[in-house]
Structure 1
Amino acid sequence: MICPRCHKEVPEGSHFCPHCGIPLDDKCPHCGHQNIPGAKFCAFCGRPLVGGTTRRPQGSFTPTEDIYHEEEKTYEPEKVSHKVNWKIVLISVLVLILATTGAQYYLQHSKSIKFSDSNTSVSEQINSIVKLKKTTVIEQSSNLSNDGMVAADDHYIYMSNTNNKLVKLDKNMNVVKTYDIKYATYLNLVGEKLYYTDRDHHISVLDTNTGKHETLQDVSAFYMTYHDGKLYYQNDSDNENLYVYDISSKTSTKLLDEHIYNMNFNGDIIYLTGKSSIISYNMTTKATDTIYNEQVYGSVYRDGYLYFTTPKMAIGRVNVQTKESQIILNNIGYSMFVMSDEAIYYVGSDAKMYRLDFNKKEPTAVYQFQSHRISGMQIVNDHLFVKDNQDWKVVNTSNTKYAVIFEN
């Protein structure tokens, strides 16, 4: 193990560097090995680390500062000739002209089109990419399992820009309003009200028309999900137990003394991802039951099944009635996925986003990530919103075209 400050060898499992004293206490939630503070990926298993904490096995993709610094080096300048070879210059100019012309032709005729703009309009041609409407229940549950960074209705899309400020976009990805809210997560859009957690993970609400926002509960809340006039959440201030906030009475109540993560609703039942299992909680009888008795990362409910990822980098599902389980996909690249009503989307080890339709056996590639720095994954009506190397992009999974929304 190498210290990130002094770059000297440190014994494995050390809590502090014996040479410079920097703290070195950060365990990977997947394999349990120690990592250096603020690391984005585990040095032992390669999986994404969760915002510097071991408590949430999926989500929390807020980028951390880079921790590696190259040593300053001094180089002696080489002696060069100042004689100009005009023949080489002329040939270079002609090659540059031909390359530019070819690149323009490719961009105009390529299947995957990149329209770039950092703040306002992406392009009128984005209409050929984005055909959006309100997120479905499955998509919303899937997004909340991955920090809930995007929400949409029939008119607008809400997400954060490169400055981490919450913005309202129209269907052409034009910013029509910027709110004075930073690091908003777990977005739940209910009519004109947007419920979210702020940078301190306090439960908050925004009036999307007036821009007025307020804190509803001064707690540390995660996986917050709106259901039937109430906000259900993991109370990190109370041992990650299940709580509910009643919007009308403005009161919070503890429901379950159990470590829980994301949640799915089906009638009176809440399916909860726990530390080492998936459990059900009956809101009427208060009874609990174990649905799947192994550790999973995230879960999404669809037609009697809960879909999840496993520590062995696979996607599986379990029947909530019979409790029979099966593995659908092996050897995925990241322990996270999103779902629509029609398909599952996941990232392979080749840094490609794949789509697996529920009525098909073979997946198809819909997007190629530019790097392995994947820090966001959301879905709205089979359109993927991906944060690829800090750039937010929208991908039409039907024709694989994509556009840059916010460029870092």
Structure 2
Amino acid sequence: MICPRCKSEVNDDMNFCPQCGMKIERCPHCHQPIVSGAKFCSHCGSSVLKNYQESHIEGYYRPLSDIPYTESYHEPEEKVDFQEIKVNKKVNKNILVIAVSIMVVLTAVAYVYIYHGPSLSNHISGGQQSTDQPKDLPLEKMEIGGMTSFATHTGNINQEGHVYQDEDIIYVVNDQGHLVSMDNKLENRKTIINDDCDYINVVGNTIYFTNDDSQLCSISTDGKDKKVVLNKEIYYLIIKDDKAYYQAQDDDLERIYVYDLKTNKETRLNNRNAYNLNVLEDKIYYTSTDGIYVVGLDGKGEEKVLNGKYYNLIYQNQKLYFLSKQATGSISGANINVYDIATRKTEVLIENTGGLMNITDEYIFYTNSSQVMKYNLKTKENTKIYSSGLCESIQIIGDKLILEVQKNSFEKDEYLMIMDFDGQNTQKLFSSQNGDFI
């Protein structure tokens, strides 16, 4: 079957589209998927509304006096005249004053409780935050610990690089697409860039990023001296040793380039399509249209590592983690694999995922239908950690997950959720109520 919303292939027994999360409703006549709320099936043309009675019998009235009395009828109603009761229209002022006073007191108590009393959600969950009912701002106390690894940074870049950790300063692209800095306690927030930006890299006092036109730009960490460094569209930007590595289109091929930030010299490193750049000390692993390749930082010694179509490549500890499509050709339902560079063996770790993946030294985080899952690399245990919306991106900063979430497939407004690796302390990272948006 084909999903009527995103046109991805959907198995006959699925109740939700694994690509867009849409609930699969079926035509009662041909049993093909239909868009929720549709009146007619787009496949067979039949009405899909529930059956209902379109006509109704008009009522009528016949005076009782017109009905002849027979034994089949009851005795005529006995008419009784009731005496009108006099009503005292005087208002007791004392009672009125007391009633108004009670209402004022109750209103004041309710106001104090609602705005200053304990949170109801804490009573319901026994003092622990429920991942199914994330709390809105103001933020609860939270501190980001640990440091973001190379593999995790690569996983972030694969998903447009909207977070970056520079010692005790955190940089996050907010719900509006603007760059905000904050400390590791999520406090002392400052808007650095008021425009759309991707692929955040911080070197010293300089932030490198791509703007709304995908141009390489820079700005100081205090929000000054913003400028365009390279006037061309680039993607998968990674800054290393005063050089910018990225993918750019040239002669209908999306190739790897390096730009020297000191000499302003650009050099092409390969001659084939390249995606998911993993820039190591002396080489770059990347995916192409027909497999996984490796090439030196000088553009020499290019080799094919693995044959096939793979996505979201992440290098970690002499192993390559990546997604592979199933036979349907859809990224939805992809498998997560690991390739051991030393033994040249490939292993399927997780089957039938939702097409998003990021990694730390201990875990793989991935989507599965409308859920975010955690896979333990040592124990191989799978755990559900989030299921309150459609996840569009899995970014990791230190020991915290930052998910870009869409409430459902019908509401396009996206927002960021931050949480511990076990799904606890889930809360929105930004809110207009606290002046986070401009």
With normalisation by structure 2, the TM-score equals 0.66
2:382 partner amino acid: P
Describe the shift of the 1:391–1:145 C-alpha distance in structure 2 as closer, same or farther (beyond 3 A). Answer: same
Task: Name the SS for the 1:292 alignment partner.
Answer: strand
CA offset at residue 175 of structure 1? 5.4
CA offset at residue 110 of structure 1? 2.7
* Native 8 Å contact 1:297 1:336 kept in 2: no
CA offset at residue 44 of structure 1? 3.3
What's the CA shift string for 1:268-298, capped at 9, x where partnerless? 1210111121001023570111111011111
Residue of structure 2 equivalent to 1:382 = 399
* Native 8 Å contact 1:356 1:364 kept in 2: yes
2:227 partner amino acid: E
Residue of structure 1 equivalent to 2:280 = 266
CA offset at residue 384 of structure 1? 0.7
Task: Name the SS for the 2:269 alignment partner.
Answer: strand
Overall identity of the aligned pairs, in %:
21
CA offset at residue 145 of structure 1? 1.1
Describe the shift of the 1:336–1:110 C-alpha distance in structure 2 as closer, same or farther (beyond 3 A). Answer: same
Residue of structure 2 equivalent to 1:81 = none
The question of 1:369 aligning with 2:334 is answered: no
Q: How far apart in 2 are the matches of 1:250 and 1:176?
A: 33
The question of 1:342 aligning with 2:357 is answered: no
CA offset at residue 103 of structure 1? 4.5
The question of 1:256 aligning with 2:273 is answered: no
1:361 partner amino acid: K
Residue of structure 2 equivalent to 1:232 = 245
Residue of structure 1 equivalent to 2:424 = 400
Q: Indicate the RMSD between aligned Cα atoms, in angstroms.
A: 3.1
Runs of 4+ off more than 6 Å: 68-71
Structure 1: gaps of 5 or more residues: 1-30, 50-67, 72-96
What's the CA shift string for 1:89-130, capped at 9, x where partnerless? xxxxxxxx9xx996562266134374422xxxx43x322xx3
Q: How far apart in 1 are the matches of 2:398 and 2:355?
A: 22
Residue of structure 2 equivalent to 1:355 = 374
Tell me which of 261, 274, 285 is aligned to 1:247. Answer: 261
CA offset at residue 131 of structure 1? 2.4
What's the CA shift string for 1:54-97, capped at 9, x where partnerless? xxxxxxxxxxxxxx9999xxxxxxxxxxxxxxxxxxxxxxxxx9
Residue of structure 2 equivalent to 1:105 = 123
CA offset at residue 260 of structure 1? 0.3
* Native 8 Å contact 2:238 2:279 kept in 1: no
The question of 1:391 aligning with 2:415 is answered: yes
How many matched pairs?
320
What does 1:90-169 correspond to in 2, within 5 Å? 103=121, 105-106=123-124, 109-112=127-130, 114-117=134-137, 122-123=138-139, 125-127=140-142, 130-169=143-182
CA offset at residue 323 of structure 1? 2.4
Describe the shift of the 1:200–1:69 C-alpha distance in structure 2 as closer, same or farther (beyond 3 A). Answer: farther
Residue of structure 2 equivalent to 1:276 = 290
* Native 8 Å contact 1:277 1:291 kept in 2: yes
Bigger mean CA deviation after superposition, 173-182 or 378-387: 173-182
Q: How far apart in 2 are the matches of 1:138 and 1:346?
A: 15
Residue of structure 2 equivalent to 1:52 = none
* Native 8 Å contact 1:132 1:154 kept in 2: no
Q: How far apart in 1 are the matches of 2:144 and 2:219?
A: 25
Structure 2: gaps of 5 or more residues: 11-16, 21-35, 40-109, 111-117, 327-333, 407-413, 433-438
Task: Name the SS for the 1:331 alignment partner.
Answer: strand
CA offset at residue 266 of structure 1? 3.1
What's the CA shift string for 1:209-268, capped at 9, x where partnerless? 243211110111011111222111110355211111111111211111110011113331
Task: Name the SS for the 2:141 alignment partner.
Answer: helix
What does 1:267-346 correspond to in 2, within 5 Å? 267-284=281-298, 286-312=300-326, 313-332=334-353, 334-346=354-366
Q: How far apart in 2 are the matches of 1:47 and 1:221?
A: 30
What does 1:210-229 correspond to in 2, within 5 Å? 210-229=223-242
1:116 partner amino acid: D
* Native 8 Å contact 1:126 1:403 kept in 2: no
Residue of structure 1 equivalent to 2:101 = none
Q: How far apart in 2 are the matches of 1:203 and 1:285?
A: 21
Structure number with larger C-alpha Rg: 2
* Native 8 Å contact 2:163 2:170 kept in 1: yes
Q: How far apart in 2 are the matches of 1:340 and 1:154?
A: 18
2:350 partner amino acid: L
* Native 8 Å contact 2:254 2:272 kept in 1: yes
* Native 8 Å contact 1:369 1:388 kept in 2: no
2:295 partner amino acid: Y
Q: How far apart in 1 are the matches of 2:179 and 2:422?
A: 28
Q: How far apart in 1 are the matches of 2:424 and 2:185?
A: 17
Q: How far apart in 1 are the matches of 2:226 and 2:37?
A: 40
With normalisation by structure 1, the TM-score equals 0.71
* Native 8 Å contact 1:188 1:225 kept in 2: yes
